[in-house]
Amino acid sequence: MTVEVRKGLVVLAVCAGMLLAALDATVVGTAMPTVVASLGGLSLYAWVFSIYMLGATTSMPLFGKLSDLYGRRRLFLAAIGIFTAGSTLCGAAASMPQLVGARAVQGLGAGGIFALAQAIFGDLFSPEERGRMQGYLASVWGLSSIVGPLLGGLIVDTFGWRWTFLVNVPVGACAAAVIHRGLTGALARGSRRPLDIPGAFALTGAVLALLLAALRLGETGTLVTPGTLVPLALFGILSGTLLHLERRAPEPVLPLRLFENRAFSVSILAATLSGVGMFGAISFLPLFVQGVLGGSATLAGSVLTPMSLGWSSGSTLGGRLVNRMGYRALGLAGMSLMAAAYLRLAHLTAGSGLAGIIGTVFVLGLGMGFVTVTTVVAVQNAVRREDLGIATTAPFFFRNIGATVGVAVMGAILTGRLGAGPAGALLRFEPSLALQAFEPLRGPLASALSAAFGVGLATAVLGLGASALLPSTSPTRGARAPASAPPGP
């Protein structure tokens, strides 16, 4: 087997692994009403999604660092194994608590797949090629967002809801077999240095505490509750502990020296801010379409399809433009598109047309695609090879943190604006039914959502400032940090 054929097979297997994890998010959403009808446990409905996100976010940096130490192949195989094991447990779940626990296992594996797919492409391809390849990976996300709901419905109607999880097992096994055969050399070995175990525990605990506080904030709309304050206090304690440990660890799980590199630190800031904007729209636009415009649940969900198309298109196009425009110009272009889209979203009213919303969310997705490629490629080309795993993971890790905190803040604003009156009480149950019964509620909901979208606009404007600090160089003009030297400024 030639080197090029082996590389092509590895790319195919990595994309298959990404498709598994990406499809899972959209397929499961379609299947969940049937799952609840079968297992009961409606009170745990949201946790089927939240626990998956918590697992994926916390495992990302750990898989990235472990792959630097013990090799991409071993860790990618472990991630696929954990994900498929979780899928098997989900398919066999006999109750909703069992399903939630199995989804946590799935999330841990998914975080590893997301992280290592990017890192493997960073290893396989030159700095000039990385942008194009990141665009291909983003296209996998776009495909899953479009195909997932339809595929999920087809599987549920034809084979039953359990097969929405069990179908992952044979695909995961095939991807693992190709990765085992195709990834060789340094990608298989790693550096074999010892892992910073205390730092890993402190990082995991801090992230879980922050995400749990954010989820609770989104539910209650206020910080002044034990469910929010206790995890926030724990986050502060564990974050301080993490900083103390990482300064002294011989092989830190999150090397603080990376943040001394301007390209790295600014890219992380831009990625975090973009996560707030992108996932805020994903979370609250369907509510606007259904609750304010009176659209069906199907229409409310389908309004996100243009955003997925824009994200996929922006990533593919951005992967080609980054070599010509450079990091700063492409990052500014992406954040400008996101800011323009949120300026429109922040002024939506009950009289807004659906066609205008569709165009707006496509622009938002296009900008997000530009920013994603910019941040990932800038980070990959700024660090030493032995840090490539943890560095490549960082933009996605912090983007998820930004998304969770941002959505929580938007949810708190929404809850606060609606208040404890009839609008807030009714809309906590079923927005479409409430608004059919009380037509005047459309106005208050539109106003509250407009205020929530203002958070997205503010973060996009801040993102413009962050993007202006990115290096003006491109992958073809900027040199990669050498393997034996610390990252440059």
Q: What is the CA radius of gyration of the chain?
A: 22
Do residue 385 and residue 486 come from a single domain? yes
End position of a domain, from candidates 225, 250, 275: 250
Do residue 89 and residue 21 come from a single domain? yes
Q: pTM of the prediction?
A: 0.81
Residue 223 CB-half CA count within 13 A: 5
pLDDT tens string 276-293: 888 888 878 887 887 788
C-beta contacts of 297-302 below 8 A and 24+ residues apart: 297/432, 299/354, 301/149
Q: Which tops the pLDDT comparison, 324 or 476?
A: 324
Q: Which helix (H) or strand (E) holds 67?
A: helix 45-70
Mean pLDDT to the nearest integer, 340-365: 91
Task: Give the per-residue pLDDT at 211.
Answer: 86
Q: Which tops the pLDDT comparison, 427 or 195?
A: 195
Counted domains in the chain: 3
Mean pLDDT to the nearest integer, 224-252: 90
Do residue 151 and residue 285 come from a single domain? no
Euclidean distance between CA atoms 390 and 397, whole angstroms:
10
Euclidean distance between CA atoms 300 and 288, whole angstroms:
8
How many other CB atoms sit within 10 Å of the CB of residue 313?
18
Do residue 245 and residue 275 come from a single domain? no
- Looking at the predicted structure, is the pLDDT value of residue 438 above 50? no
Do residue 215 and residue 292 come from a single domain? no
Do residue 213 and residue 354 come from a single domain? no
Q: Which residue has the tokens 């030297």?
A: 485
Do residue 244 and residue 182 come from a single domain? no
pLDDT tens string 97-110: 999 999 999 999 99
- Looking at the predicted structure, is the pLDDT value of residue 408 above 90? no
Q: What are phi and psi of 183, to 5 degrees?
A: -85, 115
Q: Which of 92, 104, 100 is closest to 164 using CA atoms?
A: 92
Confidence of residue 464 (pLDDT cuts 50, 70, 90): very high
Do residue 181 and residue 272 come from a single domain? no
End position of a domain, from candidates 166, 194, 222: 194
Task: Give the per-residue pLDDT at 351.
Answer: 82
For residue 386, what is the domain's CATH number? 1.20.1250.20
**Domain extent for 159:** 1-194
Do residue 269 and residue 238 come from a single domain? no
Lowest average pLDDT, out of 30-39, 87-96, 177-186, goes to 177-186
Do residue 232 and residue 278 come from a single domain? no
Do residue 279 and residue 414 come from a single domain? yes
